[in-house]
């Protein structure tokens, strides 16, 4: 296994990049929904290949998971998962302002997921002078095995991965969803190279 190790300075820099990007995504979501969006402190952890599936275990009760691949310059790439819990599934139409039967719940979920994923990653990319492209969002079955199998089928080597989890809470609707970014080891090595350039500039 290729063990990933971020220095304290690298982790602090990455945390700040994530904070700025999730703040912008939260603001975009708040404007889109015309309500306040609360953010929890994101979690960042390094997981090995044998623990990647286990780390997704808590998502198996989700009502829906939307996955979208992202690809940038300098070998920066990964998979973004948007996770929705059963108690929130009936609030999506109200959140997005759709009329009854205008769009299916699945289409609504994909709509919201695309906004959050692309806004977050575009801001993250702009901070490191990069640019992202995306695969089409895909609605997954919410079982742990389905999520794990989907991740393993990606064209990445998951020897180790960086897992970033961000929770968005929409207070007016008592609604929340989680964004989970999974970045494979080779891409993390490339990101740390970019982070080192940023650190050297200061």
Write the CATH number for 19.
3.40.1550.10
Q: What sign results for the dihedral spanned by CA atoms 91, 166, 158, 138? A: positive
What is the count of structural domains for the chain? 1
Is residue 115 in a domain? yes
Query: Is the whole model's pTM more than 0.85, yes or no?
Result: no
pLDDT, position 2: 46
Which position has the token pair 């198996």? 60
Q: What is the pLDDT of residues 13-27, one digit of tens each?
A: 999 999 999 888 888
Confirm if 166 and 22 have CB atoms less than 8 A apart. yes
* pLDDT value at residue 95: 65
Helix segments in the chain, DSSP class H: 8-33, 49-55, 92-96, 105-127, 144-152, 185-201
Q: How do residues 93-118 score in pLDDT, each as one tens digit?
A: 666 666 666 667 777 788 888 888 99
Judge whether 1 lies within some domain.
no
């Amino acid at each position: 296994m290729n063990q990933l190790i971020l220095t304290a300075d690298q982790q602090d820099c990455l945390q700040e990049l994530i904070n700025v990007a999730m703040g912008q995504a939260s603001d975009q979501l708040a404007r889109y929904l015309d309500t306040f969006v609360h953010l929890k402190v994101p979690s960042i952890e390094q997981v090995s290949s044998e623990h990647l599936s286990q780390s997704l275990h808590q998502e198996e009760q989700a009502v829906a998971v939307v996955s979208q691949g992202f690809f940038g310059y300098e070998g920066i790439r990964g998979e973004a998962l948007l996770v929705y819990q059963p108690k929130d599934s009936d609030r999506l139409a109200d959140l997005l302002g759709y009329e009854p039967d205008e769009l299916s719940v699945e289409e609504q979920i994909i709509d919201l997921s695309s906004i959050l994923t692309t806004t977050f990653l575009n801001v993250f990319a702009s901070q490191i002078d990069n640019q992202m492209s995306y695969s089409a969002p895909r609605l997954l079955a919410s079982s742990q095995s389905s999520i794990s199998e989907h991740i393993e089928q990606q064209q990445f080597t998951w020897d180790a991965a960086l897992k970033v989890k961000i929770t968005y809470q929409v207070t007016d609707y008592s609604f929340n969803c989680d964004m989970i970014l999974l970045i494979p080891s080779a891409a993390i090595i490339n990101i740390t190279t970019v982070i080192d350039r940023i650190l050297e500039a200061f």
